[in-house]
């Protein structure tokens, strides 16, 4: 047993809820397990490769089996000997509808299917998982019903917001829609239903404490009237064990973006800058799904970039290592885990001031911080990188050193300690 302040950690029963298992969520669950805080993990689908049920996959055609295993591998949890409750059928149905495109046949958008699943999971947690708890730790869009009931039962509500609060994102993206009217229908942030926005507002109202990864997200909450004393800023860690520097195999100046590229990510400004540069022996690479309206990028910039629609996460290290620099030109972003992945590989980065990763970058040391929508600044920094390969290589080494200072182990320790301090303050 470990004692912090007036409370013994083993006296705390905390459950964590999430519909998937993004890297930051896995690390939070592991932090609570390591510190004896975790009572239960509640999710949609948790893959245990040793479970007998998955043996039946051998009966399927090899191609289908490979696809299913690839999807399941993304739902592997590392919390051992802890209670895990799952609600897998919705997630299986969601994946089936999207992969077969039957959702379009039924007139259902990806967002509608996702929203349905969020509410279902929220209801299940409220109905079945609030017994014997001190606190519940949940995330955006899946906490409103749970927090309502938890409050009535004297359970403290801890809220994790990985991205900026919707009001800030909505304002910035409405401005973008005015700049580029043809992008309006492809900007999810300005097309979300009012009932969903009300749920988001209710979640932050009910939260006893909110955990965020950056000052960008913190400001979005204080701008919305949230007491700054009820917000803790804990930057995410870097995966220095799984992402490491590797030799670059050529001398091509390669600029990389990783993730779902959309108007929110500011990709169109990066393309404008790249179009003006006309470098020799250079390549702009986008890895991830295209979130722009169909045909929008192709009509204007089809010959400027190389698109790789999907890469397994464990192969990303190889792609980062072939890049000269990673660029995240987001208009608004909570943090950007791709930044610390690239830094772990010894790749310098260019980020905007509205990207939470700017909290961990020293401008001119591990990379550059630029204003949003600033094509000229992007052009100037990329030009500097192109003509200063030795200095850029040193930036990459500095990026790796900074990543080592911000590893996930440190993040887990800070998160568990801060949660403990908050619970002590709330006098559980």
Alpha carbons 385 and 163: distance in angstroms, whole number: 29
Q: Which residues, listed in sequence order, are joined to residue 286 by a DSSP beta bridge?
A: 257, 307
What's the alpha-carbon Rg for the chain, to the nearest Å? 22
pLDDT (tens digit per residue) in 299-323? 888 889 999 988 888 889 999 999 9
Q: Are residues 157 and 190 in the same domain?
A: yes
* pLDDT for position 414: 96
What does each C-alpha distance from 110 to 46, 104, 107, 113, 117 come to in angstroms?
Answer: 22, 9, 10, 5, 11
Position 10 scores a pLDDT of 52
- Residue 362, SS3 per DSSP: coil
Return the closest-CA partner of residue 221 out of 175, 174, 163, 139.
Answer: 163
Does residue 242 lie within any of the structural domains?
Answer: no
Q: For residue 34, how many other CB atoms are within 10 A of its CB?
A: 14
Q: Are residues 120 and 134 in the same domain?
A: yes
For 389, other C-beta atoms within 10 Å of its C-beta total 11
Mean pLDDT of 156-175: 96
- pLDDT tens column, 224-236: 999 999 999 999 9
Tell me whether residue 230 is in a domain.
yes
57 and 169 share one domain: yes
Report yes or no on 112 lying in a domain.
yes
**What does the pLDDT read at residue 428?**
57
Tell me the pLDDT band of 81, cut-offs 50, 70 and 90. confident
Residue 57 has pLDDT above 50, yes or no: yes
Enumerate the β-bridge partners of residue 287. 258, 308
Mean pLDDT across the stretch 242-246? Answer: 94
**Domain total of the chain:** 2
Number of other CB atoms surrounding residue 178 within 10 Å: 9
pLDDT tens column, 92-106: 777 777 777 777 777
The verdict on residue 38 lying in a domain is yes
| pLDDT at residue 116 is higher than 90 | no
CATH of the domain at 214: 3.40.50.2000
Q: What is the mean pLDDT of residues 46-75?
A: 77
Q: Which domain holds residue 338?
A: 253-405
Distance CA(177)–CA(174), nearest Å, equals 5
221 and 286 assigned to the same domain: no
In Å, the largest CA–CA distance within the chain is 65
For 108, 143, 403, the CA distances from 385, given in Å and listed in that order, are 45, 44, 20
pLDDT at 2: 42
pLDDT at 222: 97
């Amino acid at each position: 047993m470990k004692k912090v302040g007036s409370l013994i950690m083993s006296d705390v029963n905390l459950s964590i809820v999430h519909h998937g298992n993004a890297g930051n969520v896995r690390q939070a669950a592991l932090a609570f397990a390591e510190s004896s805080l975790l009572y239960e993990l509640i999710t949609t689908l948790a893959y245990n490769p040793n479970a007998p049920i998955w043996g039946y996959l051998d009966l399927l055609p090899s191609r289908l089996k490979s696809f299913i295993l690839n999807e399941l591998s993304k739902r592997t949890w590392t919390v051992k000997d802890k209670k895990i409750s799952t609600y897998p059928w919705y997630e299986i149905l969601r994946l089936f509808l999207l992969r077969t495109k039957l959702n379009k046949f039924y007139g259902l958008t990806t967002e509608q299917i996702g929203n349905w699943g969020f509410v279902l999971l929220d209801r299940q947690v409220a109905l079945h998982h609030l017994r014997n708890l001190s606190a519940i730790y949940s995330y955006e869009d899946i906490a409103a019903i749970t927090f309502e009931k938890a409050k009535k039962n004297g359970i403290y509500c801890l809220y994790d917001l990985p991205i900026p609060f919707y009001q800030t994102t909505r304002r910035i993206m409405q401005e973008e829609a005015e700049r580029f009217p043809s992008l309006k229908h492809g900007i999810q942030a300005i097309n979300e239903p009012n009932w969903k926005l009300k749920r988001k507002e209710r979640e932050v109202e009910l939260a006893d404490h909110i955990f965020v990864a950056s000052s960008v997200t913190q400001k979005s909450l204080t701008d919305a009237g949230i007491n700054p004393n009820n917000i803790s800023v804990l930057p995410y860690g870097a995966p220095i064990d799984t992402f490491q520097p590797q030799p670059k195999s050529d001398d091509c100046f390669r600029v990389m973006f990783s993730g779902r590229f959309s108007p929110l990510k500011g990709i169109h400004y990066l393309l404008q800058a790249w179009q003006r540069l006309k470098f020799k022996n250079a390549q702009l690479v986008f890895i991830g799904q295209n979130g722009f309206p169909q045909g929008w990028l192709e009509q204007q910039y089809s010959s400027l970039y190389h698109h790789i629609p999907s890469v397994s996460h464990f192969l990303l290290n190889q792609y980062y290592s072939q890049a000269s620099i990673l660029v995240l030109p987001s208009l608004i972003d909570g943090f950007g885990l791709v930044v610390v992945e690239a830094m772990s590989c010894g790749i310098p980065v260019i980020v905007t001031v509205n990207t939470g990763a700017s909290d961990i970058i020293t401008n001119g040391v591990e990379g550059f911080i630029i204003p949003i929508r600033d094509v000229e600044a992007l052009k100037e920094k990329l030009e500097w990188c192109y003509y200063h390969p030795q200095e850029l290589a040193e930036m990459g080494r500095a990026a790796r050193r900074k990543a080592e200072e911000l590893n996930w182990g440190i993040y887990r320790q800070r998160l568990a300690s801060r949660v403990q301090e908050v619970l002590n303050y709330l006098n559980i």
